[in-house]
Amino acid sequence: SAACGQDCPDDPAAVCDLLTAVGPDPAMDAQARAQYDQAVAGCFNYLLPAGAVPIAQVQAALANYLRERLLPKPSIVIAPSGRSFANLATILYTPVPDSFTFNVDQPVVATISAVPHYHWEFGDGETGPDAPGRPYDPAISPRDHPEAYVAHGYARPGRYQVTLAVTWDGTFTVPGVAQAFPIAAVTLAAAAGLVVDEAAGVLVHND
């Protein structure tokens, strides 16, 4: 019950579902494996309540909850203002936090943790790093510290569509069970248009 919070007694059905769904860790030593086998064998002695929630249903519900209600929708910021110049670095970033932790009480009392991975496509066949990027900082030169930015130079002028897919890898824990259990990855996407002009005759700072 959500009313008792962290003080709720363990639900044997939920614990058994978790143990049997995840299976033994290949890295377990003999003693840990024996304890796991004993715990799983004991599952068959429980009088499982009719309201027990199967682990697959919990995982699906939590993944949907992440997608629809918890995770921020990504956006793409292109500096400056969606325009750039051929053969000059275009700086891009997304204001996405580097991790998220949530407490939920449906369909079970659980704590969800999620971390993002990034897949940039610049619209000219090139892709970017697994990083959110950052706004331009005059104290950090893109030329001297390219690793500090998500930046891309376009060889030709034109109109390009930049896309970003943010894939969140999540796990959840339940009270009384130390192990974290996986949630199906959730991918959220964003797109932004970019106009690349000829660089001839444009004065720029040589950072």
pLDDT average, residue stretch 185-191? 96
Domain 2-197 grouped into CATH 3.40.50.2020? no
pLDDT band at 12 (very low <50, low <70, confident <90, very high): low
In order, the DSSP letters of 73-101 are PP--EEETTTEEETTSEEEEE----S-EE
Cα dihedral 126, 130, 131, 132 in deg (nearest 10) = 70
> What pLDDT, on the 0 to 100 scale, is given for residue 48?
37
Q: What is the pTM of this model?
A: 0.70
- Which residues, at least 6 apart from 7, have a Cβ–Cβ distance to it below 8 Å? none
Higher pLDDT, residue 16 or 5: 16
Contact between residue 92 and residue 152 where contact means Cβ atoms under 8 Å apart: yes
CA distances from 125 to 149, 150, 154, 160 (A): 19, 16, 10, 10
Which of the four pLDDT bands, split at 50, 70 and 90, describes residue 121? very high
Query: With 60 as the cut, is the pLDDT of residue 4 above it?
Result: no
- How far apart CA 197 and CA 84 sit, in angstroms, is 6
Of 10 and 104, which is predicted with more confidence?
104
Q: How much of the chain is helix, strand and coil, in % rounded to 5?
A: 25, 30, 45
The rounded mean pLDDT for the chain is 82
| CB 128 within 8 Å of CB 152 | yes
- 174: tokens are 């339940």
Most confident of 6-15, 32-41, 102-111, 188-197: 188-197
Q: What was the pLDDT predicted at 37? A: 73
Q: What is the pLDDT of residue 193?
A: 95
Helices (H), the chain: 12-22, 30-43, 55-65
Q: How does pLDDT run across 130-154, given as a tens digit for each residue?
A: 999 999 999 998 888 989 999 999 9
